[in-house]
Chains A and B, each alone.
Chain A
């Protein structure tokens, strides 16, 4: 039964004013992408902007990337990601050349400020 070991992805959500901070912890691939997408669904956050904290995601593939890009396309300047420098997630974003179209930060505070400002300007 070793091939069926479930993968762990935990998601924590915190609503701070007009911003939802979604922190993912665990690997994002085909097995966990649906759960990841559900947590990020803008309809679940009452119109708030979204900060996606990926600093505790040690692995992400194109399944996860597709979710991030979809949310970014929908929320535009009311969406930001937080990634650790030199992390596998940052490497994926660089390889697929999406960094230029994502608002990326090193900490959630700065990301939340940017998203709140984006919402105010929208």
Chain B
């Protein structure tokens, strides 16, 4: 019963600042529909999409960012993917470190994978029953 028809999300957006809010609102709607803490999920998604907009594509090259979200028995899974040149995780670029720190703090589980074919940020947010993990 976790997979309500229409609640799942597969969004492809242009890599530009205005897409950040579009992605945030869309994922927050999915989170709220499944009883997750929408504010935390929205902030984490914002940081992931912001990193993609700022760092995935060289200046002047257009690209897209794909945002996926769906609820599973383990929680809400959200992925942010780009086809850019790869995120430099040890970069000292402004904002990058804080954004990643926020994602790892907000998500129950977060993984970052990056190659010359793009970057994938995968985040899981535990179920709505806060503080009561089901073992």
Contacts and interface: CB of A to CB of B under 8 A. Distances in A.
Interface of A: 2-7, 27, 29-31, 59, 61-63, 65-66, 88, 91-92, 95-96
Given A3-B22, A30-B20, A62 B99 contact: yes
B32 to A, nearest CB: 14
Interface string B90-112: 00001100110110011000000
Contacts, number: 63
Interface stretch (B1-9, B11-19, B127-135): B11-19
B26 to A, nearest CB: 11
A30 B46 CA distance: 9
Interface stretch (B47-55, B68-76, B80-88, B115-123): B47-55
A19 to B, nearest CB: 29
Given A29-B46, A30-B54, A62 B18 contact: no
Given A3-B13, A62-B99, A65-B98, A92 B43 contact: yes
B111 to A, nearest CB: 19
Interface of B: 13-14, 17-22, 24, 39-40, 42-43, 46-47, 50, 53-54, 94-95, 98-99, 101-102, 105-106
- From DSSP, what is the main secondary structure of chain B's interface residues? helix
19 contacts: A2-B22, A3-B13, A4-B18, A5-B21, A27-B21, A29-B17, A29-B21, A29-B24, A30-B50, A30-B54, A31-B17, A61-B20, A61-B50, A61-B102, A62-B47, A62-B95, A88-B43, A95-B102, A96-B98
Contacts of A7: 18, 21
Contacts of A4: 18
